Amino acid sequence: MDKITKKFTESFITETKYNNMLARRYPDLTREEAEKKIDETIKNQIIPEVYNMDLSDPNPMNLAETPIDNFQTIGNWDKGSSFTSPVDRKLLTNPNAVQKIKDKFANTKFHFDMYFVNTKEARHYTEEGEVSEQFIRDNLKLDTPINHDNITVFYTNNKGDQKVMATAWIIAHRFGHAIRRLDGYKTLNNEVNEIIQRVIEEAYGRRLQRSSAFATLGDGPTDAKILKNFAQLVGTFKSARDKNLRNFPEFYHELLAQYITTGKISFNPLPKYIPVKYAWGRPSEGLRSTVNEHDIEYYSGYMDSLANDVYPDYADECLRECQGRIFVM
C-alpha cells in the first residue's frame, strides 16, 4: 500500500470509528445533535467532576504563575486525528480545565513547555521518547521554538490499554512513558526496586530476582502478581485504591505522576498479607509477613525513607536531566 492510500485509509478508519461511537451512544440523534450533546456533557458534567470545579464561581481562573510556561494545542481540535477521544479534545481546549492542569503542575519546581498535537502527521509517532528539533520539523512538520531551559513535551495522543481522560495526572503519567529510556529515570526506578526488594525479602520471606541492575524487579508470573498487588496495597493514588494497576512497571509512572502533581509521594502502611491468587473474590494464596507487628513498623520505615528522602532526591535529579531536552509522547 502506498503512503497516500495508507494515510487516506487511516483517516477513513478514524472517522468511521467516531461516527459509529456517536451512533451507538445516541442512536436517535443526528450527528450534529449527538456532537452537541457530547459537548454539553463534557462542559457541564465531566470537566466539573474531574477537577472539582464550582461552575457558580464567576471567576474560577487562578492566574498564578505555574511551571507550565507554554500549553499549546496544535491542529484542528474540532475533530479527531491523533487525539481521537472527543472528551480529551474538549478537556485540552477548555480554559478552566487547562488552568486546573497548570495548577496541578505548580507543585513541581521544573518548568515545562507542552504542545498537544492533533494532526495526521502526529498519528504515526507514539512514545518516541527523546527527539531532536530536526525530528519535530521533519516528522511532525512543526517549526516550534524550543526553550532549552525547559522540559519540552509534544503529546501526540492519549493512548493506553486503559482509556483514561487527559487530566493533569495522566499527562504527568504519560510523561513518565516518554522518559523511560533516560538513565536518570532508570536510576530512580532502580532505587524503588532496591527498597521494595529488601522489604519483600526481609518482611515477607520472598526473594525477588533481577537479571541486571536496571531490570524490572521480579522474575516470572508469581513475582509479577506479588509486586502488582503489593503496589496496589501500599500506593495511595487512585489506580492503586481502585486495584486498577495494569502491572508493576506502571507503578513507576504513577509515582512520578504523584510526585509531579502533588510535590511528594506517600505510601500506606505495609500490609500483613499480600494476596497472589483469589477464589470467589477472596484471597486464596499469598505472602504473609514473617515478622511481628513491631518489626513490620520497622520495615515501613524503609518505605517512609523512600517517600521522604530517596525518591525526591532521585526524581529531582531525573527531572534536571530532562531540562533542555525534547520528548514526544
What pLDDT, in 10s, does the model give residues 94-147? Answer: 999 999 999 999 999 999 999 999 999 999 999 999 999 999 999 999 999 999
CA neighbours closer than 13 Å in the CB half-sphere of residue 210: 15
Rounded CA gap, 15 and 53, in Å? 32
Answer whether residue 328 is part of any domain.
Answer: no
pLDDT higher than threshold 90 for residue 163: no
Average model confidence (pLDDT) across the chain: 85
Q: How far apart are CA 77 and CA 145, in angstroms?
A: 21
| 3-state secondary structure (DSSP) of residue 285 | strand
Whether residue 232 is predicted with pLDDT greater than 60 in this model: the reply is yes
Q: For the residues of 37-78, what is the DSSP string, one character each?
A: HHHHHIIIIIHHHHHT--TT-S--------SEEEEEEEE-TT
Cα–Cα distance, 98 to 2 (Å, whole number): 39
- Residues 28 and 157 both lie in one domain: yes
147 and 249 belong to one structural domain? no
Same domain assignment for residues 132 and 279? no
Q: Is position 324 within any domain?
A: no
| Claim to verify: residue 210 and residue 236 sit in the same structural domain | yes
Nearby residues of 62 by Cβ (< 8 Å), 6 or more positions away: 99, 103
SS3 call for 168: helix
* Cβ pair 194, 208 in contact under 8 A: no
Q: Are 61 and 106 in contact (CB under 8 A)?
A: no
In-domain check, residue 329: no
Are residues 28 and 170 both part of a single domain?
Answer: yes
- Confidence (pLDDT) at 221: 86
The pLDDT value recorded for residue 218 is: 77
The answer to whether position 224 is within a domain reads yes
| Residue 24, pLDDT score | 72
**Domain-terminating residue out of 115, 145, 178:** 178
Q: Are residues 303 and 161 in the same domain?
A: no
Given 178, 211, 232, the domain boundary residue is 178
Total count of domains within the chain: 2
- Residue-range definition of the domain harbouring residue 111: 3-178
